[in-house]
Amino acid sequence: MPNLRSYSFMGGLLDSIDIALCLFDADDRTLVWNDCFLRFFPEHAGRVHRGEAYRENLRRFYDSRLDGEERRHLDRYVEEGIARHRAQSRPFVFTHLDRRLRVASLPTPEGLRIRIWQHLHEEPQQMRAGGWDVFPIDLLDHIADGAMVLDQNDRIIATNNEFRILYDVPEGHSVIGATLQDVVRDAWAKVDQPERWTDGFVQDSLHFAGAPFEVELPAGRWRRVIARRTASGIGYFTHSDITELKRQQAALERALAELSAIAATDVLTGLANRRGFEKAISAAWHACGVAGTPVAVIIIDLDHFKAINDRFGHAAGDECLRRIADAVRSSVTRADDLAARHGGEEFAILLPNATAEEALAIGQGIRRSVRVEPWAQVHPDLNRLTVSMGICAVKSACEVDIDLAMRHADEALYRAKKRGRDRIEIQRA
């Protein structure tokens, strides 16, 4: 567990020099913030709390700054904000409540993420030295990437030829006075898909100077945009073609997802393996803990499995495990439930939002399935096979941690074994 006192001390120190701080854990939950954070973002005062998801933090932030039609894009802004939060490695500048804020964010050695905001009281000297009036427009066409200049009202003042190529602007068509939203809308309108673009998202992204954002165009094409703004509001933007990069990223993500699924799956039974179960239970426990809802865990053990292997051989033992897995799998019908082979002849079932009675009903159903299974098909001399189960049913996941719940389920299974096997024992917590 990280030493939050040290970060709280740092936050107090930064208060003295008018710098805001907020610390988040590896799951993007709020841990520490200072007084300056609440001054810069008064919408959080009295509402931010330890353990709050950054998603809720962002939702308040955008709720305070969006009006009219832009509000329909709030969910999109929140998702993009989370992506910026997780990927940010360089500072960028944006305006909030008439403050120009520079925000920096980096991961900490403990796996947390710290964000700090600095109020820019005046424009850096190098940006104040010149202005739009002395900007050499002719240089735009010597820039390899697409280039665009916006006025204080986000209207296009100038572009280069590469920008026109990137956004399918027809020869002879002027974009001066238009917005970037207009240009993107026109590109989608040409393929009769005007609903695929989001004007509000583009509009808001223009105001995070230095933070790259991405724009999707027809035919699976993507552009990355980076902004710089002067104190007077003039914006200088570069646009690059990242279509191939996005395709490679998508292919890599698919490959990683397939590898992850393989790594989390038990080869013999096709159920999740222990690794997959532990990952799922961590996420489910957190979700149930936030919601204050119940959760149940069932651990199932095949009785006298060693004797089956010794008498009938490992091939027969493997077939028994596959059939038990089928019975376990067929009992799990809700989308959030998970059945896994926990190791050897042991299986586990995770039941988010399930009561003790619901878990018991599932366990009894599995026992019935095992009882009627035609085991003689596995071996003529195998007439009967039974399972023992331990259930831990937790009324509220926020009151009991995962390790304790798993110990309770193990203890219940041990009692079932000790009391004669082929039975279910329940531990409530």
Q: What is the mean pLDDT of residues 165-176?
A: 89
pTM of the model: 0.48
Q: Reduced to 3 states, what is the DSSP secondary structure of residue 324? A: helix
Rg of the chain on CA atoms, in Å: 29
User: What is the overall mean pLDDT for the chain?
Assistant: 86
Q: Is 90 exceeded by the pLDDT of residue 378?
A: yes
- Mention the CATH class of domain 4-121: alpha beta
| CA 374 – CA 319 distance, rounded (Å) | 12
Q: Angle 356-372/314-331 helices, nearest 10 degrees?
A: 140
Domain 264-428: assigned CATH number: 3.30.70.270
User: pLDDT of 119-141, one tens digit each?
Assistant: 987 544 443 434 444 455 556 77
Rounded Cα–Cα distance for residues 348 and 325 (Å): 10
Contacts of 333-336 with CB under 8 Å at 24 or more apart are 336/284
Rounded Cα gap, residues 93 and 91, in angstroms = 7
pLDDT in tens, 244-290: 988 888 887 888 777 767 778 898 999 999 988 988 888 888 888 88
pLDDT for 184-206, tens place per residue? Answer: 988 988 888 766 666 556 667 77
With beta carbons less than 8 A apart as the criterion, state whether 239 and 147 touch. yes
Report yes or no: 264 and 276 within 8 Å, Cβ to Cβ.
Answer: yes
End-to-end CA distance of the chain: 25
Where do we find the tokens 């020869």? 171
Is the confidence at residue 373, as pLDDT, over 80? yes
414 within 8 A of 427, measured Cβ to Cβ: no
Buried b (16+ CB within 10 A) or exposed e, 209-244: bbbbbebbbeeebbbbbbbebbeeebbbbbbbbbee
Strand, coil or helix: 395: coil
State the pLDDT at residue 405. Answer: 93
CATH of domain 126-246: 3.30.450.20
% pLDDT > 70, the chain? 91
pLDDT at 228 over 90: no
Domain positions in the chain are 4-121, 126-246, 264-428
Given this model, what pLDDT does residue 134 score? 46
**Predicted local confidence at residue 131, as pLDDT:** 43
Write down the pLDDT at residue 54.
92
Sequence-separated (6 or more) residues with CB below 8 Å from residue 188: 194, 195, 196, 197, 217, 218
Q: Do domains 4-121 and 264-428 have the same CATH topology?
A: no
Helices (H), 93-151: 125-128
> Residue 349: which pLDDT band, with cuts at 50, 70 and 90?
very high
Q: Residue 237: CA atoms inside 13 Å, Cβ hemisphere, count?
A: 32
Q: Which two tokens stand for residue 36?
A: 């300056």
Share of the chain above pLDDT 90, in %: 48
Alpha helices in 332-383 (DSSP H): 356-372
**CA proximity to 93, closest of 191, 2, 226, 192:** 226
